[in-house]
Amino acid sequence: MSDAFTTRMLNVSTGSRERVVDLTRDCEDFLREAAAGRDGLLNLFVPHATAGIAVIETGAGSDDDLLAALHTLLPADDRWQHRHGSPGHGRDHVLPAIVPPHATLPVIAGRLELGTWQSVCLVDTNRDNPSRQVRLTFLG
C-alpha cells in the first residue's frame, strides 16, 4: 500500500445509551503516524446504518444539545415503519440522513485542521448496538 493512502479501523464502545463520542484525539494519534508531517485529507466513515460523524464543539453542552435536537427531529416513538429493536429504533435508521456517516477534513503539515472549538465526533443514538467501528483514512 502506498504511503499516500493509509487506513485503520477504530473500535468504539458506545454502551447502551445515546452518545456523542469525541474522536479528535484518536484522529490526531492516527495522523501522527499516517500523515508524517504531510498535507492531505482525513476521511472518517462509519460502516453502520444507525450512526454518523459530526464536527461540533464538545464539553460545553453542545453534544447534549445535539442529542436533544435529534430527539426533537427524530422522536423515539412508534411512528417509524422500521420497527425491529428498541421502541423508536426506526429513527436511528434515519439519523445518517441528518448526521452523515462520513466526514472529510483537511490535514496541514500532518495536523488536523480544525477550528478552535471544533471536535470530530461519532454520533450514536442506537442503544441496541454498543460497539461501533470508524474507518480512518489519510490520503496525502
30-41 pLDDT, tens per residue?
A: 999 999 999 999
Answer whether residue 2 shows pLDDT above 70.
no
- Domain map (residue ranges) of the chain: 5-139
Instruction: Dig out the grid coordinates for 132 from the structure.
Output: 461501533
Answer yes or no: pTM beyond 0.85.
yes
CATH of domain 5-139: 2.60.120.460
Q: What is the mean pLDDT of residues 72-79?
A: 91
The three-state DSSP-derived secondary structure of 45-108 is ECCCCCEEEEEECCCCCHHHHHHHHHHHHCCCCCCCCCCCCCCCCHHHHHHHHHCCCEEEEEEE
Would you state the pLDDT for residue 42? 98
